[in-house]
Amino acid sequence: MKKKVLTVDDSRTIRNMLLVTLNNAGFDTIQAEDGVEGLEVLEESNPDVIVTDINMPRLDGFGFIEGVRRNEKYRAIPILVLTTESDAEKKNRARQAGATGWIVKPFDPAKLIDAIERVTA
């Protein structure tokens, strides 16, 4: 069965790139535009892994990750943070919120797929 990835990013450009990359790599892809929508979509989609941005309107990546982890059902779902930020303090914050891994943009499709493979069974 195809693995399902939920991507959360406010940039249309990045969403499109993720969609193309993930679909080409044989994943099912569901998308959300910010943390709030991410939490909504999560309920219906039940993904195998989540890839999220940090800087987003309404609910940012930290809040989104916390929201996911708070839900009994999604405590163990791998969450990868895909962001241009590389600063250690923010990384740490994302980890504390419950992020599984951190991938720094620019977007390298091979690295992303590799990381997703690494955290999903």
Partner 1 sequence: MDMNEIKEIFFQECEEQLAELESGLLKMNDGDRDPETVNAVFRAVHSIKGGAGAFGLDDLVAFAHVFETTLDCVRSNKLEPTQDVLKVMLKSADVLADLTNAARDGGSVDESRSRGLVKELEALANGELPSPSAEPPAPKAAAKAAPAAPAPAAKPTDDSGFQPIPFSFDDFGDEDGAETGLPAYEITFKPRHELYSKGNDATLLLRDLSRLGEMTIYCNMDELPGLEELDPEAAYFFWNITIKTDKGEDAIRTVFEFAEWDCDLTVKPVEEASAGVTGNEELPMVPVPFDLSILDETDAAEAVSAARSEDTAAAVAAAETASNVTQMAAAAARVEKKESAAAAAAAANAAAQNNAAGAGQTIRVDLDRVDRLINLVGELVINQAMLSQSVIENDTTGTSSINMGLEELQQLTREIQDSVMAIRAQPVKPVFQRMSRIVREIADMTGKSIRLITEGENTEVDKTVIDKLAEPLTHMIRNAVDHGIETPEKRAAAGKNTEGTVRLTAKHRSGRILIELADDGAGINREKVRQKAIDNDLIPADANLSDEEIDNLIFLPGFSTADKISDISGRGVGMDVVKRSIQALGGRINITSKPGHGSVFTMSLPLTLAVLDGMVVTVAGQTLVVPLTAIVETLQPEAAAIHSFGANHRLISIRNSFCPLVDVGRILNFRATQANPVEGVALLVESEGGGQRALMVDAIQGQRQVVIKSLEANYTHVPGIAAATILGDGRVALILDVDAVVGASRGHSLKAEMSLAAVG
Which residues bind to partner 1, rule: CB under 8 A? 10-14, 16-17, 19-20, 35-37, 39-40, 53, 55-60, 62-63, 66-67, 69-70, 72, 75-79, 83-84, 87-89, 91-92, 95, 97-102, 105-107, 115, 118-121
| CA atoms of 2 and 64, how far apart (whole Å) | 24
- Report the nearest approach of partner 1 to the CB of residue 98 (Å): 5
Q: For the beta carbon of residue 91, count every other beta carbon within 10 angstroms.
A: 17
Provide the CB-side half-sphere exposure for 110 (13 A, CA).
0
CB of 31 to partner 1, least distance (A): 13
Q: Which residues contact 105 (CB under 8 A, 6 or more apart)?
A: 14, 82, 83, 84
30 versus 39: smaller Cβ distance to partner 1: 39
**Residue owning tokens 């709030």:** 36
Nearest-approach distance from CB 61 to partner 1, in angstroms: 10
